């Protein structure tokens, strides 16, 4: 007999052999049977919990292939600047935060977006110095490749007009006096961040529990965390306490490749709740921070083409690390935004693959935002997974053409072209850079309607993908990325019992209504972890 059954639903299984079903039977953490309500009712016993879906739409639990999960949990209790649309509102929120905390405490996170300001200028330390005399500030732009710090933070870090920008970063200085403006990009951010106190294990566990609760609320049952080795300790503690309500697949920085090799870790290890999956590296920065690396200069800043990230220095180190990782049989996920950054990492991937021979690598490029046409085909040829975050397209689409022009923008977020070439498209959020809710990502991939409402037919509409393709990106393709397609990612007999139930059938509503859809219930490992 089943322990839990779902009846009378509209179930999209993501299994091509049985795409639709009415009901599912579960026992322990596995799916026992998928079929009609009549069939599943036969598996109801005296102790079976029965849930009548009443026509609600069910899917496999969403898999988010790119998050900064623990940071997201920590940010939930820090300052929120994403919605600040003016200097006045920005400063008011910072001032308000100083009233909530003690003197000497840091003001962190923020996720501000200067593209919302009118005009879209970068904030300056002068904005906030007068309201933060006793609190160091380090608030990040939403892409996490640029921060604003106040004068107190600059003083703590010893940054002056005479401080040179580090390799892979930039200390932005004003043109008249050469003084730091408070804006630090990429590697320069570390000059201040190294002075920020590390949260305690207790605080991290609390943050992770908050993040898990939020993930359950939006139907996410598996998470790829672009993290560090310390995060793994936090998740291990929660696993021991039976508090993990989503599956964690953790990537640690590529700079720690020696740790893997020393321990002879070749494939994802541990259990179906928690795994260290591979290594995460960076080639460049972000478009919004003008640190994404392009072949041609930025349209709005002709003196710049972007920056190589510190992981690329000294020259040749990325090739060395990837060769080392590949010989150890490890998976890698490499961040590349600009067209030149993507081209560079594809060159390195191709070199490593040619020298070491064929194997089932499932190597990933994270973001894959801007490509030259020939690299679209090369990604497929090399069997590289395109790990994309569709929400970025409807966010960046408001202003991307101002930065790189219309011609290059045509090869931005080319989801459809990648799929047509046979590339596996794995979808995620990049939370906290973008909302964790996968339904906003699915909406973005299907409509490409920008957040400002100015692209009703979609920004670069030729790159819209179908609803079924988008759902696969958040389910079975995400499972494939982590070598788990045999145990999750679709609703099939024998697979792990991870589900999300929605209040409307995505296939029966206009695409623009997808973002209004709500999660009714999330089932993880055969147990209800969220119910509206």
Q: Write the DSSP string, 457-475.
A: T-SSGGG---HHHHHHHTT
72 domain residue, yes or no? no
Helix (H) or strand (E) holding 206: helix 201-217
Q: Which residues are paired to 112 by β-bridges?
A: 141
Which residues are registered as beta bridge partners of 275?
249
Question: Would you list the DSSP string of 262-283?
Answer: HHT--S--S-SSEEEEEEEEES
Last residue in a domain, options 19, 40, 55: 55
290: containing domain: 202-524
Q: Can you tell me the distance from the alpha carbon of 131 to that of 150, in angstroms, rounded to the nearest whole number?
A: 10
Which conformational region is residue 172 in: left (phi greater than 0), alpha (psi within -120 to 50 degrees), or beta? Answer: beta
Among residues 360, 410, 419, the alpha carbon closest in space to that of 388 is found at 419
Distance of CA 423 to CAs 342, 346, 384, 387, Å?
A: 15, 14, 7, 10
Residues 397 and 425 in one domain: yes
Distance between CA atoms of residues 487 and 81, nearest Å: 40
Query: Is 77 within a domain?
Result: no
Residue 64 lies in a domain: no
Residues 144/152, Cβ–Cβ less than 8 Å = no
Is the same domain home to 150 and 231? no
Spatial CA neighbour of 338 closest among 502, 184, 163, 145: 145
Q: What is the structure's pLDDT at 269? A: 53
d(CA 310, CA 26) in angstroms, rounded, equals: 48
Q: Considering only CA atoms, which of 337, 373, 348 is closest in space to residue 66? A: 337
Q: In angstroms, rounded to a whole number, what is the distance separating the alpha carbons of residues 137 and 327?
A: 43
Same domain, 503 and 362: yes
Q: Give domain status of residue 240, yes or no.
A: yes
* 466 and 356 part of one domain: yes
- pTM recorded for the entire structure: 0.92
Question: Which CATH number do you get for residue 400?
Answer: 3.20.20.140
Question: What tokens were used for 45?
Answer: 């016993």
Distances (CA, A) of 425 to 227, 238, 421: 21, 31, 11
Residues 6+ apart with CB under 8 A from 80: 93, 109, 110, 111
**Same domain as 132, residue 18:** no
**Do residues 251 and 385 both lie within one domain?**
yes
Contact at 8 Å (CB) between 26 and 2? yes
63 part of a folded domain: no
pLDDT of the residue at 264? 58
Q: In angstroms, how far apart are the furthest CA atoms of the chain?
A: 79
The total number of structural domains that make up the chain: 3
Say which CATH number the domain at 25 has.
2.30.40.10
Single out the residue of 105, 158, 95 nearest to residue 132, CA to CA: 95
Task: Yes or no: say if 464 and 456 are a contact pair by the CB < 8 Å rule.
Answer: no
pLDDT tens, position by position, for the chain (532 residues)? 999 999 999 999 999 999 999 999 999 999 999 999 999 999 999 999 999 999 999 999 999 999 999 999 999 889 999 999 999 999 999 999 999 999 999 999 999 999 999 999 999 999 999 999 999 999 999 999 999 999 999 999 999 999 999 999 999 999 889 999 999 999 999 999 999 999 999 999 999 999 999 999 999 999 999 998 889 899 999 999 999 999 999 999 999 998 766 665 554 456 899 998 899 999 999 999 999 999 999 999 999 999 999 999 999 999 999 999 999 899 999 999 999 999 999 999 999 999 999 999 999 999 999 999 999 999 999 999 999 999 999 999 999 999 999 999 999 999 999 999 999 999 999 999 999 999 999 999 999 999 999 999 999 999 999 999 999 999 999 999 999 999 999 999 999 999 999 999 999 999 999 999 999 999 999 999 999 9
Q: Which of 258, 247, 249, 339 is nearest to 295 (CA)?
A: 339
Q: What is the pLDDT of residue 495?
A: 98
Residues 258 and 304 placed together within one structural domain of the fold: yes
CA 415 to chain centre: 16
**Residue 186 resides in a domain:** yes
* Whole-number pLDDT of residue 97: 96
Q: Is the domain of 187 the same as that of 269?
A: no
Q: What is the pLDDT of residue 492?
A: 98
pLDDT on residue 263: 62
Query: Tokens in use for 232?
Result: 């793994």
Residue 271 pLDDT = 86
Determine, yes or no, domain membership for 17: yes
Domain membership of residue 67 (yes or no) is no
* Other CB atoms within 10 Å distance of the CB of residue 334: 28
Which residues, in sequence order, are CB contacts of 481 under 8 Å at separation 6+?
Answer: 65, 224, 362, 364, 385, 387, 424, 426
């Amino acid at each position: 007999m089943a322990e839990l059954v779902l009846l009378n639903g509209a179930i999209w299984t993501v299994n091509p052999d049985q795409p639709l079903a009415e009901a599912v039977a579960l026992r322990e953490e596995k799916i026992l049977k998928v079929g009609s309500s009549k069939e599943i009712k036969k598996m109801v016993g005296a102790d079976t919990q029965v849930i009548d879906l009443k026509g609600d739409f069910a899917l496999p639990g969403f898999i988010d292939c790119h998050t900064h999960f623990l940071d997201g949990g920590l940010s939930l209790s820090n300052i929120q600047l994403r919605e600040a649309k003016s200097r006045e509102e920005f400063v008011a929120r910072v001032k308000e935060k100083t009233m909530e905390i003690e003197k000497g405490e840091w003001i962190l996170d923020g996720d501000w977006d200067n593209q919302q300001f009118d005009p879209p200028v970068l904030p300056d330390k002068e904005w906030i110095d007068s309201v933060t005399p006793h609190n160091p500030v380090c608030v990040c732009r939403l892409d996490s490749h640029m921060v604003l710090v106040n004068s107190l933070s600059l003083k703590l870090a010893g940054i002056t007009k005479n401080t040179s920008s580090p390799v892979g970063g930039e200390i932005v200085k004003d043109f008249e006096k050469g003084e730091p403006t408070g804006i630090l990009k990429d590697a320069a951010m570390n000059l201040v961040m190294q002075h920020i106190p590390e949260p305690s294990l207790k605080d991290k566990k609390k943050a992770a529990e908050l993040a898990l609760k939020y993930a359950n609320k939006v139907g996410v049952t598996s998470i790829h965390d672009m993290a560090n080795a310390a995060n793994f300790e936090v998740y291990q503690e929660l696993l021991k306490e039976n508090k993990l309500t989503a599956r964690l697949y953790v990537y640690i920085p590529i700079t720690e490749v020696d740790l893997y090799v020393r321990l002879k870790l070749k494939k994802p290890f541990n259990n179906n709740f928690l795994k260290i999956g591979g290594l995460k590296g960076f080639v460049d920065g972000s478009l919004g921070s003008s640190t994404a690396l392009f072949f041609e200069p930025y349209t709005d800043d002709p003196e710049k083409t972007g920056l190589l990230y510190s992981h690329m220095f000294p020259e040749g180190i990325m090739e060395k690390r990837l060769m080392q990782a590949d010989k150890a049989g490890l998976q890698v996920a490499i961040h590349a935004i600009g067209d030149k950054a993507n081209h560079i990492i594809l060159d390195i991937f191709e070199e490593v693959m040619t020298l070491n021979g064929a194997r089932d690598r499932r190597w990933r490029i994270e973001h894959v935002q801007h490509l030259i046409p020939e690299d679209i085909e090369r990604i497929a040829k090399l069997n590289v997974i395109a790990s994309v975050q569709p929400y970025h397209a409807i966010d960046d689409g408001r202003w991307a053409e101002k930065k790189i022009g219309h011609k290059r923008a045509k090869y931005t977020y080319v989801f459809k072209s990648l799929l047509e070439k046979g590339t596996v498209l794995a979808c995620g959020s990049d939370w906290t850079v973008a909302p964790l809710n996968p339904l906003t990502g699915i909406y973005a991939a299907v409509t490409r309607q920008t957040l400002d409402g100015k692209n009703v037919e979609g920004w670069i509409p030729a790159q819209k993908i179908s609803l079924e393709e988008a759902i696969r990106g958040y389910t079975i393709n995400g499972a494939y990325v982590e070598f788990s397609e045999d145990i999750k990612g679709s609703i099939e007999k024998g697979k792990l019992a991870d589900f999300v139930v929605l209040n409307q059938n995505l296939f029966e509503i206009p695409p623009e209504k997808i973002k209004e859809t709500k999660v009714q219930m999330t089932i993880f490992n055969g147990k209800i972890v969220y119910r509206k």
